[in-house]
Amino acid sequence: QVHLVESGGGLVQAGGSVRLSCAASGRTFSNYAMGWFRQAPGKERLFVAFITRSGGGTYYADSVKGRFTISRDNAKNTVTLQMNSLKPEDTGVYYCAAGLSGGGSSRYLYDYWGQGTQVTVSS
């Protein structure tokens, strides 16, 4: 079992920045690829970014490339999502997820999820 807790969400103006963090506990953190997903009200949960177990590979949704950066610290069991140049369409609940299979853009590749943190970008 892996327990994930997100933090860092809030209200920000368009063009601003927010840094999300996800703290993991339980199983060996470095065994899991880590992902971030976003869910807007009434919409499905969509892929934002993921990072490989070692942190050597990062992948992003086209909509956030060049604006968001995912990173991890395996010594501290944390993964972060730095979000810059935010747009109103980035609004939603952001979920951290852990995947034993190696990660990817599909939410079905992830085994554990956090409770989510709200990010609201005002125009």
pLDDT per residue over 24-41, tens digit each? 998 899 999 999 999 999
Tell me the two tokens of residue 67: 């604006």
pLDDT per residue over 64-118, tens digit each? 999 999 999 999 999 999 999 999 999 999 999 999 988 899 999 999 999 999 9
